[in-house]
């Protein structure tokens, strides 16, 4: 990849839960098809384990595995699952992030719902504050980390597109906010996260009419962002038809999704063997579960726990035990978990939706994609071509290299 001394904009667009299989449909839609014709499309790409939104996005932001950057899962121990506390703040990340690198280069940053950015120095920021804490606490955090004055102006202008006030509405809003920023060259690094496909897959499954409609909507939002890129080129005195040859665009997915037909309450198994949650508990990512054991467990409780684990290994919901490499790379070992298990297809641990993720990378039909576009990313020989391999970590490493060679606005 060449240096980029010209300071071309770097535009990262994350399509949450869009799988490699979804790309077949996206390639029939006008905007994704056009974008792919200007870039190099990587199919059948591996995510990182654990395949959860915050773990993967932080791996992209840092170029590191969770064992290094520290975000093992979206949420902190979900033992009771009454209130989910998400690892949403920069303080949980133990490696240098893209926004930090960009700030050091004197770059202006725009982050729209990109995970784990609260606490970063971002000029144009719509912070994602997920979880099930009270609306007052979440609202206060949103106001604290979002660029409030700028956001208020955009809400006055585009607030009608937030209806309904859900992920469809938020994607709609982002689709209106991002293009003018790009067109007017307001930032050097754009980190844009579209969530509606993930929301629809959770609620209705991976192959529902609602999910297909969400993919259509996703393509429309890509079209709006593409319009902003073309307008940027026009404002610079260039030909809008050549806009995608003069900026660097990375479009990627974080994880795939699987339908869940059977929900498994693994904590009832522990209770059956007289193991209460103050002795040991499972942390669930739906597609996998991780066992935490208190250090002062008694020999009798240890015996009961071992019996429970032996029973779990033979249950139809279990595909296999997690490998030592998976426990290490995922950050589970570093976080204090003793062992883990992968769910079989069709099963999900804990309170799960119709569609869910968190599965291991060897799960069938569980690949993702990324698309690279731009003179500092794509060789002319690769434009309009496809390859069928790779890792989402490559997206992070490419983005880091672009940022490290960007002249900034010092």
Q: Are 378 and 392 contained in the same domain?
A: yes
Number of domains forming the structure of the chain: 2
pLDDT for 79 equals 62
Query: Is there a domain that residue 2 lies in?
Result: no
Give the Cα separation of 247 and 280 in Å (integer): 51
The domain that holds 38 is classified in CATH as 3.40.720.10
Query: Is there a domain that residue 288 lies in?
Result: yes
pTM here is 0.95
Give the Cα separation of 292 and 296 in Å (integer): 12
Phi, psi of 205 (to 5 degrees): 100, 170
Residue 167 belongs to what domain range?
Answer: 10-257+362-404
Q: Are 244 and 139 contained in the same domain?
A: yes
pLDDT for 95 equals 98
pLDDT for 82 equals 61
Using DSSP's 3-state secondary structure scheme, residue 388 falls into coil
Give the Cα separation of 178 and 250 in Å (integer): 15
Residue-wise pLDDT for 24-50, tens only, equals: 999 999 999 999 999 999 999 999 999
**Parts of the chain with a pLDDT under 50:** 1-5
pLDDT for 80 equals 55
Residue with tokens 């535009």: 11
Q: Are 26 and 65 contained in the same domain?
A: yes
What does the block give as tokens for 280?
Answer: 């040991």
Residue 1: half-sphere exposure toward Cβ, Cα within 13 Å? 21
Q: Are 220 and 284 contained in the same domain?
A: no
What does the block give as tokens for 331?
Answer: 């950050």
Q: Are 139 and 244 contained in the same domain?
A: yes
Q: Are 267 and 173 contained in the same domain?
A: no
Torsion of Cα atoms, 53 then 55 then 60 then 61, to 10°: 100
């Amino acid at each position: 990849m060449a240096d980029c001394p010209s300071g071309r904009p770097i535009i990262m667009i994350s399509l949450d839960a869009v799988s490699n299989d979804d790309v077949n449909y996206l390639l029939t839609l006008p905007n994704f098809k056009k974008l792919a014709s200007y870039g190099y499309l990587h199919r059948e790409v591996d995510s990182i384990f654990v395949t959860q939104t915050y773990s993967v996005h932080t791996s992209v932001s840092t170029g590191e595995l969770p064992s290094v950057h520290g975000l093992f899962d979206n949420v902190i121990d979900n033992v009771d699952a009454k209130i989910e506390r998400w690892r949403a703040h920069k303080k949980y990340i133990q490696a240098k992030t893209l926004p930090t690198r960009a700030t050091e280069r004197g770059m202006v940053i725009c982050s729209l719902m990109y995970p784990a950015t609260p606490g970063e120095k971002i000029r144009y920021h719509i912070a994602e504050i997920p979880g099930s804490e009270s609306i007052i606490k979440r609202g206060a955090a949103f106001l604290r980390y979002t660029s409030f004055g700028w956001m208020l102006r955009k809400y006055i202008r585009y607030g009608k597109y937030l209806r309904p006030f859900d992920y469809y509405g938020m994607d709609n809003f982002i689709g209106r906010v991002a293009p003018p920023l790009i067109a007017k060259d307001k930032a050097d690094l754009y980190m844009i996260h579209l969530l509606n496909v993930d929301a629809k897959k959770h609620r209705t499954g991976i192959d529902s009419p609602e999910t297909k409609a969400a993919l259509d909507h996703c393509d429309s939002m890509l079209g709006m962002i593409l319009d902003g890129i073309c307008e940027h080129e026009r404002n610079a005195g260039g030909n809008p038809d050549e806009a995608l040859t003069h900026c660097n665009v990375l479009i990627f997915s974080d994880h795939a999704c699987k339908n869940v037909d059977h929900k498994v309450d693994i904590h009832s198994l522990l209770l059956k063997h007289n193991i209460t949650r103050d002795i040991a508990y499972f942390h669930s990512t739906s597609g996998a579960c991780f066992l935490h054991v208190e250090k002062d467990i008694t020999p009798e409780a240890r015996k009961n726990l071992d019996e429970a684990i032996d029973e779990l290994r033979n249950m139809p919901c279990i595909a296999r035990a997690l490998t030592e490499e998976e426990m290490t790379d995922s950050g589970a070992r570093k976080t204090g978990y003793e062992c883990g298990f992968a769910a079989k297809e069709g099963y999900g641990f804990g309170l799960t939706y119709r569609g869910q993720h968190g599965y291991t990378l060897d799960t069938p039909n569980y690949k993702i994609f990324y698309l690279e576009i731009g003179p500092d990313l794509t060789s002319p020989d690769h434009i309009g071509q496809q390859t069928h391999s790779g890792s989402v970590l490559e997206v992070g490493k490419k983005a880091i290299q672009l940022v490290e060679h960007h002249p900034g606005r010092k």
